[in-house]
Amino acid sequence: MALFDEWVQKGHDFIHDVMVELGIDDEHRAFRITKAVLHALRDRLDPREGKDFSAQLPMVLKAVWCEGWDPTRGPDKSVKKREEFLQRVMNDPGLVKGRDITNPDEAERFVRGVFKVIKKHVTWGEVEDVIRQLPEEIRELWGEHSP
């Protein structure tokens, strides 16, 4: 049973870090936002890179990553601009419309925050691999490109 407790704790730690980074006190909201960001990122990556990246996520978030994922579709390269990526996040069906993310500026702040937490929990080499696959405007959402 200790193994499952450890997996849950690592997922909780990740979401807690998101809550702190975003300045929100609702764990469910932080989870929904994290899920929306992860799905938008996942759908933009090559499936092989997505698999490598998700291997470093806490077990609970690996399940989130895989939910609804069809790796045979490949990356959605139609999303090239920052605004398109943010719109993807804002339109995630798991978000509570009008409550979780209320505007594009908030979406950008939240995406940047989740990316910052990812950089804390995933090795820098893997983060670099992910960033390299993204168009420049989406790369900018990761902030500084250093550990």
Domains of the chain: 9-67+74-142 (1.10.490.110)
Q: How many CB atoms lie within 10 A of CB 102?
A: 11
Q: Closest by alpha carbon to 115, among 41, 30, 50, 62?
A: 41
Please check the confidence at residue 2 and state whether its pLDDT lies above 90: no
Please check the confidence at residue 4 and state whether its pLDDT lies above 80: no
Q: How many CB atoms lie within 10 A of CB 65?
A: 20
pTM reported for the whole predicted model: 0.94
Q: What is the mean pLDDT of residues 8-12?
A: 88
Over residues 32-51, the pLDDT tens digits come to: 999 999 999 999 999 999 99
Contacts of 80 (CB under 8 A, 6+ apart): 135, 137, 138
User: What is the predicted pLDDT for the residue at 134?
Assistant: 96
pLDDT-derived band at 146, boundaries 50, 70, 90: low
Q: What is the mean pLDDT of the chain?
A: 93
- What's the sign of the alpha-carbon dihedral 3, 53, 138, 70? negative
Please check the confidence at residue 106 and state whether its pLDDT lies above 70: yes
Kindly state the helix (H) or strand (E) to which residue 108 belongs, with its residue range: helix 104-121
